[in-house]
Amino acid sequence: MKVITCLEPPVSHARVDAPIREPLRVALVQHRWQADGEALRAELNEGIARAAELGAKAVFLPEVTFSKYPAFERGGANPGAEAEDLATGPTFTFAAKAAVEHGVFVHASLYEHADQGDGLGFNTAILVSPDGELAGRTRKLHIPVTEGYYEDTYFRAGPATEEAYRPHSHADLGDVRIGMPTCWDEWFPEVARMYSLAGADMIVYPTAIGSEPGHPDFDTQPLWQHVIVGNGITAGTFMIVPNRYGNEGEITFYGSSFISDPYGRVLVRAPRDESAVLVADLDLDQRKDWLTLFPFLATRRPDTYGRLTAPVDREHPLGRA
C-alpha cells in the first residue's frame, strides 16, 4: 500500500501572528471494494495502522466503506435490506476495534438502517474515538439522481435540523472542529459555507465517485477536485476527501483522494488506481490567517440571497424564471 506524506505544513502566506495551535496530523485511506470481507477489513486495518505509526491522530475512510456501491441500478421494493444498524453493525464494530487498537480516531461511512416504512436508509458518516465510542454522526443531505448514481432509490436525505451542519469536536483532538458531509454534498458551495459559518476547521467528504455510465469518455476527476478545492478556499477550510478506486461493474471509481488547505494547495493526492495512505500535517491557524486576509464570511450579503432558499421550479430546472 503506497504511503504519501506531507509532514510539514506549507507556509501560511497570510500569517497575521505567531501560530497558536500545534499542527494536527491526519490521514486518509484509499481502497477498493472487495467481495472478500476479511480481505477488505485487513486492507483498511493495514492502512489505519500505517497512518497511526506515522503519528496521525485521525484516519478517514471512503463512502459506504464496506459495501459494494449499491446505486448502479434503481433500488427495488426494499432497497435498504442490506442496511446496517449504526451502533451494532459491521462498520461501527470495525471502526471501534481499529480505533482502540491503533489509538486514533477512525472515520467511516455506512448504509444506515432507517425504520421509516419506505425501505430507504441513510448514508451516514461516523467518527469513533480511540476509546471506541461514537464521537460524531452526520447523514448525507444531498442525494444524487443521475444515471449510475440512483441514490435517491436507496437513501433518504438527512433531516434539515440544527445539527445538519454542526461540526464535531472531541477533547482528545484539542479544539479542532470537523464537518462530516458525504460525497454529493461536496459539489454544493452552500455546504462548505454552512460548515465554515459554524466554525469548522476541516471538512471531510467520504466519497464514491468515478466514471459516468452515460458518458464514458467524460472524465470528471479534474472538475471534482477543482470544485472541492475552490469551496475550501471560499470557506477557509481544509478539505479531506477519501475516495475509492476500481471497477465495480457499471462504474470505475477513480480514486485520486486528496487533502487540500484553505489556500487551495493540494497537500497530498493518491493515484487513480491504487490503494494508498495519505498523511498530512495541517496548520490549523491557516483558517484564521486566510479569512483575515480575505474576510468572505464577514462581508457576505445574506439579505440578497433569498433565492438560494427558494425551491427550484420544476418547469425551469435551469433557473430560468
Residues 6+ apart with CB under 8 A from 243: 30, 62, 63, 207, 208, 209, 253, 254, 255, 256, 257, 270
Spell out where 200-314 has E strands.
202-204, 238-241, 245-247, 252-254, 258-260, 266-269, 276-282
Cα–Cα distances in angstroms (integers) from residue 26 to residues 36, 57, 88, in the given order: 28, 6, 26
Q: Output the average pLDDT for the chain.
A: 94
pLDDT surpassing 70 at residue 28: yes
Is the CB of residue 105 less than 8 Å from the CB of residue 57? yes
Check residue 13 and give its pLDDT. Answer: 84
Per-residue model confidence (pLDDT) at position 320:
61
Q: What is the mean pLDDT of residues 122-151?
A: 96
Burial 170-184 (b: 16+ CB within 10 A, else e): beebeebbbbbbbbb
For residue 20, is it within any domain? yes
Question: What is the Cα–Cα distance from 290 to 283, expressed in whole angstroms?
Answer: 12
Look at the alpha carbons of 194, 227, 151, 136 in this order and tell me if their dihedral is positive or negative. Answer: negative
> Can you state the angle between helices 90-102 and 37-53, rounded to 10 degrees?
30
Please tell me the predicted confidence (pLDDT) of residue 162: 78
Q: Over 80: is that where the pLDDT of 117 sits?
A: no
Asked if residue 255 belongs to a domain, the reply is yes
Return all residues near 152 (Cβ < 8 A) that are at least 6 apart.
143, 144, 145
Provide the domain count of the chain: 1
Domain containing residue 202: CATH number: 3.60.110.10
What does the pLDDT read at residue 158?
94
**Averaged pLDDT, 165-170:** 95
* 3-class DSSP assignment, residue 120: coil
* Cα gap 142→152, rounded to integer Å: 9
Residue 173 lies in a domain: yes
Q: What is the pLDDT of residue 107?
A: 98
pLDDT at residue 209 greater than cutoff 60: yes
What would the mean pLDDT of 113-125 be, rounded to a whole number? 89
Cα 7–11–13 angle (5° rounding)? 155
When pLDDT is cut at 50, 70 and 90, the band that residue 195 belongs to is very high
Q: Is the pLDDT of residue 67 over 60?
A: yes
Instruction: Tell me the per-residue pLDDT of 224-273, one tens digit each, with 9 for 90 and over.
Output: 999 999 999 999 999 999 999 999 988 999 999 999 999 999 999 999 99
How many C-beta atoms surround the C-beta of residue 294 within 10 A?
A: 15
Judged against a pLDDT cut of 70, whether residue 112 lies above it is answered with yes
How far is it, in rounded angstroms, from Cα 229 to Cα 223? 10
User: Is residue 317 in a domain?
Assistant: no
pLDDT for residue 68 = 94
Kindly state whether residue 320 falls inside one of the protein's structural domains. Answer: no
Predicted confidence band at 321 (pLDDT cuts at 50, 70, 90)? low
Q: pLDDT category, 161, cuts 50, 70, 90? A: confident
pLDDT for residue 79 is more than 80: yes
- What percentage of the chain exceeds 90 in pLDDT? 84
HEC string of 11-27? CCCCCCCCCCCCCEEEE
Tell me if residue 146 falls in helix, strand or coil.
coil
Query: Over 90: is that where the pLDDT of 119 sits?
Result: no
For the stretch 38-53, pLDDT in tens is 999 999 999 999 999 9
Domain residues for the domain of 139 are 2-297
